[in-house]
Amino acid sequence: MQEVSRTWYGKSAAGKIEGKNMRVGMGYDVHKLVSDRKLILGGVDIPYEKGLLGHSDADVVVHAIMDALLGAAALGDIGKHFPDTDPQYKGISSISLLEQVGKLLEEELYVIENIDATIIAQRPKLRPYMEEMVGNVAKALNLSVKQVNIKATTEEGLGFTGSGDGIAAQAICSLVPVNNYVYDTIMAEGESGGCSGCSGCGKDRQ
């Protein structure tokens, strides 16, 4: 078993994880680049002459991450939970939607192990913004930045991303059910204790 420490429901826990029942999800999204829109990627407002077209802020990499997380938990996709026909999501921050996905996974008793995402864009150069993107995603999901990786590549001028018509993103993630964890301690509001009486992770309800 692997030594781990994780946080959810405002509690931090340390113990071991059994190497079974890991669930993996994949996500993909693409949006068209247009004038008169902000370019938001990973929750970062990136200076550029064009932005991504969409019902929300069209944050393509966050959308891919959300789809990967929902897919790993067999909970559908972002279109099911946040339909683009619903006016309440018009112009909404995708980071705020990612927070809702994180809460849904908590309710379903899943723990996020890691996220790896790739942005596919010919322009602009994104390396200067990667650290902030990772921080935004990690914060939204109550993860360590060591559990999140975001990178960027081009398609060497090929296809719709190479021509600058759009930006795509892919993501993969792994989840583990809470009842795979064997805890030594659970810390809540500065107090430590075992699982008895703690309703945070739901392990005793399994």
87 is in an annotated binding site: no
CATH of 2-205 given 3.30.70.20, 3.30.1330.50, 1.20.1740.10, 1.20.1730.10: 3.30.1330.50
161 is in an annotated binding site: no
Amino acid 203: pLDDT = 45
Distance CA 171, CA 63 (A): 9
85 is in an annotated binding site: yes
At 179, list the tokens: 């009842």
111 is in an annotated binding site: no
Report the run of H or E that residue 97 belongs to, with start and end. Answer: helix 94-107
199 is in an annotated binding site: no
124 is in an annotated binding site: no
Amino acid 178: pLDDT = 83
Contact 70, 77 (CB under 8 A): yes
Region at 80 (left for phi over 0; alpha for psi -120 to 50; beta for the rest): alpha
Note down pLDDT in tens along the chain; length 206 residues. 455 555 554 455 555 555 557 899 999 999 999 999 999 999 999 999 999 999 999 999 999 999 999 999 999 999 999 998 999 999 999 999 999 999 999 999 999 999 999 999 999 999 999 999 999 999 999 999 999 999 999 999 999 999 999 999 999 999 998 876 655 544 544 444 445 444 445 444 44
Q: What is the dihedral of CA 124, 127, 128, 132, to 10 degrees?
A: 110
204 is in an annotated binding site: no
Amino acid 62: pLDDT = 98
57 is in an annotated binding site: no
pTM of the model: 0.82
Tell me if residue 79 falls in helix, strand or coil.
helix
Amino acid 50: pLDDT = 96
- Burial (0-12, 13-18, 19+ Cβ within 10 Å), 49: exposed
191 is in an annotated binding site: no
189 is in an annotated binding site: no
Amino acid 44: pLDDT = 98
